[in-house]
Chain A
Amino acid sequence: MGNPNTGKSTIFNHLTGIRQRVANYPGITTEAKHGTMSLPGGSAELLDLPGAYSLTASSPDERVVIDVLLGHEGFVRPDLLVCILDASNLQRNLFLASQLAEFEIPMILVLNHWDVAKKQGLRISREKLEEHLGVPVLATVGAKGEGIAELRAAIAETLESPRKMTRISWRDGVNEAAAAVVSGGSECGVELTRPEAMRLLFDFNSALKERFPAERRKELEAILDRARETVHAAGLNPAAAEAVLHYGHLERILEESVEGEVSVAAGQASESIDRLLLHRVWGSLIFLGIMWLVFQSVYAWAGPLMDGIDSLTGIVQDAVSPLLSGLPIFQSLVVDGIIAGVGGVVIFVPQIVILFLFIALLEGSGYMARAAFLMDKMFGWCGLNGKSFVPLLSSYACAIPGVMAARSLEDGKARITTIMLAPFMSCSARLPVYLLMIGAFIEPQYGAFVAGGVLFAMHFVGLAVSVPIAWFVNRVVTRTPSLPFILEMPRYQVPVLRNLLLKMWEGGREFIVRAGTIILAFSVIIWALLYFPRSASVEQAATETFMQEVIAAGGIAEQELATRLADEESELATELRNRVEGAYVEQSYLGRFGKAVQPVFDPAGFDWKVTVGVISSFPAREVIIATLGITYKLGGDVDEESDSLRDRMKAETWTSGARAGQPVFTIPVVVAIMVFFALCSQCGATVAVIARQLNWGWAILSFGGMTLLAWVAAVVVYQLGTFLSSISSP
């Protein structure tokens, strides 16, 4: 345990190495890690709890810490607490330790950043501290790995012969009040320990109240009020009492144990850097530059790696395919379902790893806090805080790493809001759809300038729709208030390479294992829906029709046609294959579903082919291009630039119904399709990651809500667009 920014993670990483996992506590998504460290004669499980300045628990996430300390809710009470302190700011750091002492768990104190303290001219006597506090006091420089061996030894030793930190001697008024809370709790049917009673007493609206049945809570409030009165009567401000008493006690100890000037400020060097980085003009510009860099790296630099994975997937597919040619169904399942599915998971890993690298760099250097500081005001309006900036920005490249990055937000409400907003940011997968539609329909009619403008505007549709919703939910619907946003800006440091690598590794691993399995499952399901039912009669019928068409068009005799078609590489054979593929898709469950569901999308102007494309792209947006290619009988290898696809779409007309004979792709339809894609939840991977980071309830809400929103928006756009164009062209 320890304050944030004390190098706690570095030391944890030293002790556990790669044998660590992100701990996933049910219902809570605070970032905690657990790992194994080896000890002489065995091993120990080490739990890294999120950094905290105090044990105040107003939110469920903070309550987890108390539950762990007491061994409640299925946690095992720890045998030893290793408290990591920043040696250059001992007083504030020892506050947490002093609070922890109340829980009477054996402790070791680790003074990290020992080198910085020395440089600041502080001479800390560890012996004196050990004398006063009653527990081993070690010195480490986590970044350099100094003192780690001694720490291991001390841990082993203290487990053998435990030592507990000396508790402060509270004043009578406080002892009385705490006792009153304990007995009052007992009367309400809850057996409280003294440390719990103190948390209820000192914290405002402690989450520990949830231990009490709802009907007794009013009683509890009265008990707490009376207890606080007792504290007040003893001459103390109840909100300040805990801090005043701990800090007073610590000041006396530190006076005897530490020599040297401790300034009001955190550090000279950092302050000089901040003069530039927090400068109203220069600081903001540098910030924009850094954010652009982060965005570019995820958006563009991951590109070559992603292309590589794409090619590799293709190579594997081509390699495996002939091996299974005897079993067509199995072959398709493995090649088009499983390998494509795995490829579809792995392709996200470069983006995730690169983003996590940048985040680790920003956090490790201390700059992240400055970025949150600069951005905070804007985010406050939606109930978020400045820390949401990086997750949301990254979501513009891809929501998956963005959602995963939101894990580090301590404020539960801000975290949930950030994760729900992330999919609205126009991710890179939407771009092919925009490019296809704009390139085929808008640019020819309105020119490159308008086309560029529309492309730019599309990037903000999601933002424009989601931010007011977030604002509304925040103002009107919120039940839990956000935590006060008090942010520490730590000393600038050089990030530790080991930490960076471990963070990258952990991010990639967690994605593949947790979300990857779900994405793979989706891919196989969609494969199946597009493949089945597959009957030979479909192929036969399509082939016959094709041959008749070719013969009727003139020029080729039946015999010659058969020979030409036997040659698999010939143009005719390729065209026939595309035809057959298209016919299969039309007959598939997904195809039939698309046709059946088309009436739902009719008010948005989508015909059945567009509907099938939309539905098939629910697992992944870009799939629509390939699906359109197949349904338009051009084969699945088209992309958003393909002229053949564009021409086909321009020529497409309604074959039946009210609009029979009219073009399918009018401008209102085109815009409606783009708006639909801007707002719809069409990324199985994102839904999976949201489910893992929050729970399935939120994931389903995100999916359902966004899809509904997209449909409404598409309908509005189409109806309005058609109406406007009908009155403007007489």
Chain B
Amino acid sequence: MRTKKLIFPSFLVIVLLIFAFFSPMLTPFDITEQNLMTAKSPPSFPHIMGTDIYGRDMFSRVIAASRISIFSALAVVLLMAVIGVVIGIFCGYLGGIADTLLMRVSDIFLAFPGLVLAIATAGLFKNGVFGAIIALASVGWPRYARLSRGLVLSTKTSTYINAAKMSGSDTVQIVFTEILPNIIGPIVVTASLDIGTSLMEMAALSFLGLGATPPTPEWGSMISESRSLLQITPWITLSPGIAIFITVSIFNIFGESLRDYFNV
């Protein structure tokens, strides 16, 4: 029963990911092909989302943008989860001065406004998307570090770990065979629920011009670029907004079904 409920959302997410990965090849029209004669035409056949000010097919652009939009959000989550979990397990398992020190560092990053990091890292990497990923991951990892540290602390003293210790397993073995499997549930759930949020945050940074910039096809920057068209040719502004909504919804459904599955 529990697994059954997981099938459909997982299926949706997998389809979405495959689709996003191959999206640049799946567009019905070339995304840079402009045709000024048919610029700003409202949704109709064959341009089902209309065309933008350059006469480019909006539907194709929205599809093409899914790759950067979705995979940058995944990258943020993956980066902060991996860094956070590694540090969290390390701190929780070893304790001592290293624990105190790293937790202080995590306090620092937790209190950092992500926006400011975004501008600094954008300058560092000369690539807005990459900079924004780093910025969001930098302020996001402490949450995972704390979560996994707490989980480790609560499992560390349990009898089966003591048993493993006594049977001569070394630390690395214990972490991978005993601790990680026991704490992975809550972390996966948190991470899956974070994908949607990260996607929206990436889009927000791009909206401010701190992430992807036009003409990089990315939903946030597409909305930002076409803001002033909302009154005149609303489909140009609304199409990427709808794409964000659908994508975030799918990831949220997935995250919640995972939460039910792991029962956390």
A in complex with B: no
